[in-house]
Structure 1
Amino acid sequence: MDDLVVVGAGPYGLSIAAHARVAGIGVRVLGRPMASWRDHMPEGMYLKSEPWSSNLSAPGGRHTLAEYCAGRGLAAEHGRPLPIDTFSAYGLWFARRAAPEVEEVTVTEVTPQGDGFRIRTAEGPPLLARTVALAVGVMPFVRHPEALRGLPPGHYSHSSGHRDLARFAGQEVAVVGAGQAALETAALLAENGARPVLVARRSRIDWNTVPQPLERPALRALRSPHSGLGTGWRSWVWSELPWAVRRLPAPTRERIAATALGPAGAWWLRDRFEQRVPVLLGHRLHRAVPVGDRTRLGLTTTAGESVVLDVAHVIAATGFHPDLARLGMLDARLRAALETVGDGGTPELGADFESSWPGLFFAGLLTAPSFGPSMRFVHGAGFTAGRLVAGVRRRLGARGRPAGPLGTARPARAGAGHPKTSAR
């Protein structure tokens, strides 16, 4: 039986595995390395966050993005956007150096068994683990507008469903949304010869400002500090104090996770977008019907006027909605037994990312209503990995497994000793 199985091999999964490896924990990592970044982002996209805040996490701060880029003559500079393909390659480089070998299998089921878990995959026999960390990324939580869900599959897609937007050359494409994914997808469509139009409920598009220099006079730095999630005190709190967010009442945490750091475009994208993409702002999508091989959208303006838009395809760049109910790999009985944040569908977590089911840990998007918006970004992996692995060590110690060479296991978190027997 393995000490820890990490499900997912993106920035969070690889960071957790790197910390577990150094801690002497027997860890296995299951998944396709950097899958979301390699398979679900169009060619030509750039990383929105600054390179210095986009590191995967290894003990001692090793294996940084800057180190990877320096060894290849690439620029990883503040205020200079980095191609997504470069970041994906960095993640693979990190995996080879810092983490155990990733097993590229598809996990189909995680079920309690005895004092641990059984993990089934599509490719081989089941595995047994004392603890499990679910770092499944965002793809299970793709969100489509309700109006599009009745369309035949070929009429619409999600922005995460494309690598090559050149297939839409010469076609009219409606892009629904107002965040970075929508704006950059629309710009890339135009640059690939398509005729996009952006449709958004919002009355305006928000754009991030050009980042201030890292080196600034002390007073300016104090007034508006840099952080891994942007400039300003509010961003600094979300970035640097996730532990404090967790101590807030559940409704407050849910509201912060849902509203903080809302939709906005990167400063470097604005000229590319505004020069080539027409917009329909203040337009709510309420109806979508297929008309032959095209799609007719029914829109309503803020003044109550009806607008009809006829396009060849619709791309929903409407983000991701974390919800345990959509995590089909997780045993239904276990899922129903988990304590959740308020009335939402995300797991309530301890300070070490352990759920109410002993030995089951979560990382990434599902943890945002517990720890705040930094869990939606790569930057949050640094906060998560060390704390989660410390929780795994404590859990292993509580179950009689030595906690590895870095210290003695401590008692398990109070209140986490027994799984719930019924849903709340």
Structure 2
Amino acid sequence: MSSNSDARKIRVAIIGAGIGGLSCAVALKHCTNVDVDLYEQAAQITEIGAGVAVWPRTWEILKSMGLEDDLSCLLKEPPSNTQKVAFEMRLSDRKEGFTFRKIFTRDGGFNFHRSDLQGALLRHVPSSCRIHLSHRFERCEEADDAVTLFFDNGLVVSYDLVIGADGIKSALRQYVSNSGELLYTGSRAFRGLVSRERLMNLFPNHRALVNATMYNGKSKHIVVYPINGGKLINIVAFVSNPDEDGKVIPGLEVRQATKKEVVEAFSEWEPEAVEILSTIDNPSCWPIRDLRPLNTYTSRRILLLGDAAHAMSPHLGAGAGQAIEDGYVLGRLFEKLMESSSTNDSEGLLHLIKVYDNIRRPFANYLQKMSRKQGYYNELNMPEFKDVHQEGQELDAYQIVALGSALKENWSWWEECADYEMEQALQILKAQGKL
């Protein structure tokens, strides 16, 4: 690709300024031959939700993107590169629960409020990236040499590449794949926050003050972990109906719930699980859906990332991390492609789009599948527990060991290095003469 200063820059549009879109903008900041516009339909950049988990795999990416200092100051303790408890796993659908496994990882993982992570990313978006708020994407027309975007305010503009980072309800997805159905997992999640100070005053010896904890039981589970430097405890309580798993159910939306509704759903569980739920004053209820795995993330000049490409259930805490990884890999591919002086602009760009799909789709689709599987294990709904039909039912020693081993194995991906995938991408480019 030409490196001359007068070479026409590649025009790139990013649709959506969530964690995925911002990560992509940050990852492209060193690509001097790329001209980036970031479009967001909202009047201001905000993030819906509370806690977000960042595991070591994603942490290394964020460090490479220059965010380590911004994010380290938001942690309860600075990173020490030592093994710590990520989750204490308890069997809790009985009056006397017990811990059956502790899952360890580097620093125990890194937990943030979603708005803090998004804010850190926003501060690192380069000034050369133009951000357009109150621009709702309506439709596009894709030709061989460009994609023309149409917005609700009348703006019509064309780009060499359009990146769809517009979330689980992506409007761009239909231009890439017709197989992207949203599937209800049969689960709904009650979400809330409690301050550490309040929890300590109410229940001074509560386990959640010490460790991130997962309370497991038949067709239900609760996840609690600290965010905001340990000042807040994020609480998510899942209630599932396996008979509804995998169905396409229109009209499911987030709604307000009540403390009574949440506590009653877990009334037969061990006291400490009920106690933590009783601290939520204004819970919300979220239907948990994922995306039927796509057979491609790209068309000729459109590519998808984040939830637009691979919306997954939250049971591995991988959704935000995979969106960040999408942007990182794309940025690195652009950097390497920009270093080449022998590749035609259009030819190189079209090849880059294909390589992105070949590298990111297999792993992200795999995590989609594993996240759903993890949810089944969290709630004793795998074949190993086919004889477990109700809350509080006793498990034999084999089942308890199998549960702990499966949960640990399903988390093993978080220690792997995303740059391994980057090397795969580079090898493909080199083998095809594009680097």
* TM value normalised by structure 1: 0.43
* TM value normalised by structure 2: 0.43
Q: Which has the higher strand share?
A: 2
